Every structure is written in structure tokens, then in C-alpha cells.
Amino acid sequence: KQKYAFELEFLQAVEEIFLSLVPVFAQNPEYIHHNILARIVEPDRIISFRVAWQDDNNNVQVNRGYRVQFNNVLGPYKGGIRFHPTVNESIMKFLAFEQILKNALTGQPIGGAKGGSDFNPKGKSDAEIMRFCQAFMTELYHYIGPDRDVPAGDIGVGAREIGYMWGQYKRIRGQFEQGVLTGKKPGYGGSLGRKEATGYGLVYFVSEMLHDANLSFINKTVVVSGSGNVAIYAIEKAQHFGAKVVACSDSNGYIYDPNGLDLKAVKEIKEVKGARISTYLNYHPEATYFEDCSKIWTVPCDIALPCATQNEINGDAARTLVENGVKLVAEGANMPSDLEAINIFLDAGILFGPAKAANAGGVAVSALEMAQNSSRNSWTFNEVDAKLHDIMKAIFTESKEAAEKYGYPNNLVVGSNIAGFTKVANGMIAEGVY
């Protein structure tokens, strides 16, 4: 803790995982013998680099780029790229660390990594985005490859940015190594169903949780934070399963529509116009807009799906959700609930789906994209979606069984951490000390 005192998010992620692993170490002394904990928290390597680019006024701008290659025991490094002004080494490390166990849970052959930049894409022209992506890839290409490290999208990085980065990688390498990046658009190597995968996967996972508790989505009131890639497709699938989604947000504020959100309007605002969620009122004047996005958790609901960013649910927000009768919370974003919030949910007996299990659908379909690229093949949307559904069911079952086996029935935080960790730890032992 002293060594990484300045890396708050990383320490938070490590603490959550280590606390879950206590029963595993008690029953498996070989993990102590092989000093797995000390080894697993030290990334294989952290690469950080300058990204210099020219804005539309011909001014030279400078940002910092990162790639944290944390662990490749189960497969090539794999994890998204985030463009957001808050990006720093701690955030990159926490995301990459979580990614190791998440990727292990998918059952796909992928290791853990994360990357990004403190570049702020907001308000940038398309040409500026392209020049930035090209500059970023001009350095990153040294360290990645289809069998080495396969980045994807994350906050601020969607199919457009992936397209610019893929184009630059291809030009520099002079080879059509499609599998170097996932999240490409279908048509030049992207997988059908990738765009929907994290949100749909989250809802498939929640369906398993509900089914296990003899509940269902039908007529449940749902609140989803964010209105980006994960949020939009979580809303879509939850509505498809019969839920009423009444609120969503962006970093400025949130919309409350008691009649149920009009997803067509949300998609037009966010995917077509790139506008603020407040403009939902232009479509539905009867809805209400509130300026403070963090207050979205005051909206009473049966199911809360945080799909925006880390630490968006603190202790106070968690208490409010519980007081208002929430029955289930499942994380679409990475680490949206802080440790206090998680404990409040677990102590209150709320069904809680932790990120590394509940939002693993995105990276699972990324691994399916890699498989399609390797075989120079492409699958239909329905084939991909069916595989995604099976993977999410398997993650739920595996996490639930691990929780039971180690004496924490129904605690999916403990279960998913243990299920992911044991796969990686066993691989580390098998592959020898390094």
C-alpha cells in the first residue's frame, strides 16, 4: 500500500480482489508457496509515451499514451483503449488488473491489458480525432500484434477511432493483420454483435441472476447510468426482456422519463448527433432533466445498472438505492461501485453482479472477433449473440459455484474473483517462475 499510495484506483481494485481470495489461500497453500499475490499485482510491463499531434489551428498538442501489459498467462494481452482527460497510470493499472480476471472468466484465450491517453475527444473535429489516433498508433504499434497484444475500444474509443488506428497500423506494418485490434466495424474485420455485446451481455447475466432468484425483468423498473455504448445496449436488451427503463445520464446530468425511455431518441442524440442527454427534452418535453448526474441513484428502481464510469456509486448513493427498494445491482461499467457501496449492497442482501463477471460480454465477443479474423471467416449476428449468451450463462454458473465452494453462497464478488483468479494462478504455476 505504501509503495502504490498514489495509485488509489489500483489499490481499490487490488483490495477488493485480495479480500475475496482469503478462503482460496487457506485451502490452496501452493499459491502462497509460489508467491502468486506478489507476482500477480506487478504488471509484466507498463509502456508510456508521448503523443504529439496537430490540431485544426496547426498548433502542436501533446498528450501521454499508455499501455499496461499486465498478464499474458492465458493468451495474448487484451483490453481496451480509453481516451479521457482523467486517464493516468493508476486508472490504467486498475483496469488492466481487473481485465486479467475478467478475461479468464470468459473462458477465451486472452490475457489482461489496458491502454489509453489523457486526450479529451470532446469538442474535437473528426480530422483532429483521426490525427490523434494516427499519432497514438505510430508509437503503440511497436508493442502490439495479433498474437502479442490486441487492444479494443473503451470510453472515448468506438468504431471510428478503432478504424483510424487500424488504418495507421496497417500502413506502418504493410500487412493485413486484422486480428491486431478488435471493435472494428463489420465489413473490414469487425464482428457483428460486438457493438451490442457489453450491454446485451450485462442483461443476459442479470437474467441469470434473476432466474436464479425466481424473478424476471418483466415489469421491473430499471435505472441505467451513462448513455454511451454499454448503456444504450443494456437499455435495448432490458426493454426487450420486458423491463421499463426510466432514467439514463451523461456526465452533465440525467433524464427521468416515467413512461419509459424512448431509446430511438437516445440513440439519435448519442450515436448520430453526439449531443447532450438534456436534449432528450426536445423529443419528450414531459420527461424531466436534472443537472447533477450523480443524483440518478435517487430515482427509485428495482434494478440499477451503472454503465458510466468508475466510482459512480458511493456509500450514500448505495444507501439511497437500498432505502428505495432496489432488488438487484449489476455493473456494466468497470468498478462503478466503491468498496463501501458493495458492502452496503451485500449486507442488505441485494443481488449484486460485479463488473468483471457482468460486463465481460464485450471482451468475450472481442475474443470471438479474433477467432473470426484468424480463420478469415465471419459469423452471423445470431451466431455471435448465441455464443455471447452461452458465455454469460457460464460465467454466472462458474462464479456462483466458486462462491458456494468457498463458503460464500450467492456472493458473486467473491465467486467471480475466485473463479478468475484460480485459472490465472494455476497457469502461472504451470508456466514457471518469471
Q: Does 356 show up as a binding residue in the annotation?
A: no
State the number of CA atoms in the 13 A half-sphere of 235 facing the CB: 25
Q: Does 198 show up as a binding residue in the annotation?
A: yes
Pick the stretch among 43-51, 204-212, 280-288, 327-335 that binds ligand NDP (CB under 6 A).
327-335
CB 152 within 8 A of CB 84: no
Q: Does 99 show up as a binding residue in the annotation?
A: yes
To the nearest 10 degrees (0 to 180), the angle between helices 361-374 and 194-212 is: 130
**Dihedrals φ, ψ of 258, to 5°?**
-65, -15
Pick the stretch among 4-12, 58-66, 221-229, 342-350 that binds ligand NDP (CB under 6 A).
221-229
Q: Considering the candidates 1, 3, 93, 114, report the single residue annotated as catalytic.
A: 114
Q: Could you tell me the smallest distance in angstroms from the CB atom of residue 295 to ligand NDP?
A: 10
Helix (H) or strand (E) holding 208: helix 194-212
Q: Does 366 show up as a binding residue in the annotation?
A: yes
Q: Of 153, 193, 353, 420, which one interacts with ligand NDP (CB under 6 A)?
A: 153
Looking only at Cα atoms, what is the longest distance across the chain?
A: 63
* The three three-digit cell numbers of residue 158, written as one number: 468506438
Rounded-to-integer distance, Cα 352 and Cα 331, Å = 8
Q: Residue 9, interface with ligand NDP (CB under 6 A)?
A: no
Q: Residue 225, interface with ligand NDP (CB under 6 A)?
A: yes
Pick the stretch among 47-55, 163-171, 308-316, 369-377 that binds ligand NDP (CB under 6 A).
308-316
Q: Residue 156, interface with ligand NDP (CB under 6 A)?
A: yes
Q: Residue 101, interface with ligand NDP (CB under 6 A)?
A: no
* The three three-digit cell numbers of residue 254, written as one number: 440525467
The dihedral sign for the CA sequence 365, 231, 72, 29: negative
Number of chain positions touching ligand NDP (CB under 6 A):
26
The DSSP secondary structure of 356-392, one letter per residue, reads HHHTTHHHHHHHHHHHHHHTT----HHHHHHHHHHHH
Q: Residue 359, interface with ligand NDP (CB under 6 A)?
A: yes
Q: Of 69, 198, 337, 399, which one interacts with ligand NDP (CB under 6 A)?
A: 198
Rounded-to-integer distance, Cα 397 and Cα 114, Å = 27
Q: Of 333, 388, 413, 425, which one interacts with ligand NDP (CB under 6 A)?
A: 333
Q: Could you tell me the smallest distance in angstroms from the CB atom of residue 57 to ligand NDP?
A: 24
Helix, strand or coil for residue 22?
Answer: helix
CA-to-CA separations, 329 to 114, 318, 412, 414, in angstroms, rounded: 25, 10, 12, 16
Q: Could you tell me the smallest distance in angstroms from the CB atom of residue 198 to ligand NDP?
A: 4
Sheet of 60-71: strand order equals 45-54, 60-71, 112-117, 77-83, 149-152
Q: For 379-417, give one letter per residue: b (16+ CB within 10 A) or e.
A: beeeebbebbbebbeebbebbbebbeebebebbbbbbbb
Q: Could you tell me the smallest distance in angstroms from the CB atom of residue 432 to ligand NDP?
A: 31
Pick the stretch among 10-18, 36-44, 249-257, 380-388 that binds ligand NDP (CB under 6 A).
249-257
CA-to-CA separations, 342 to 115, 249, 349, 383, in angstroms, rounded: 26, 21, 11, 35
Question: Considering beta carbons, is residue 179 or 306 the nearer one to ligand NDP?
Answer: 306
Residue 184 is among the residues annotated as catalytic for this protein: no
Q: Could you tell me the smallest distance in angstroms from the CB atom of residue 105 to ligand NDP?
A: 12
Q: Of 69, 71, 108, 334, which one interacts with ligand NDP (CB under 6 A)?
A: 334
Pick the stretch among 5-13, 51-59, 329-337, 384-392 that binds ligand NDP (CB under 6 A).
329-337
Rounded-to-integer distance, Cα 340 and Cα 342, Å = 6
Q: Of 168, 221, 249, 416, which one interacts with ligand NDP (CB under 6 A)?
A: 249
Q: Residue 293, interface with ligand NDP (CB under 6 A)?
A: yes
Q: Residue 261, interface with ligand NDP (CB under 6 A)?
A: no
Question: Considering beta carbons, is residue 24 or 367 the nearer one to ligand NDP?
Answer: 367
Q: Rule CB under 6 A: which of 390-419 touch ligand NDP? A: none
Sheet of 328-330: strand order equals 288-290, 254-256, 244-249, 221-224, 303-305, 328-330, 351-353
Q: Of 14, 113, 162, 230, which one interacts with ligand NDP (CB under 6 A)?
A: 230
Helix (H) or strand (E) holding 417: helix 412-431
Q: Does 226 show up as a binding residue in the annotation?
A: no
Q: Residue 332, interface with ligand NDP (CB under 6 A)?
A: yes
Q: Residue 189, interface with ligand NDP (CB under 6 A)?
A: no
Q: Which residues are catalytic?
A: 114
Per the annotation, binding residues are 78, 99, 102, 153, 198, 229, 366
User: Which residues are at the interface with ligand NDP (CB under 6 A)?
Assistant: 153-156, 198, 225-231, 249-252, 293, 307-309, 312, 332-334, 359, 362
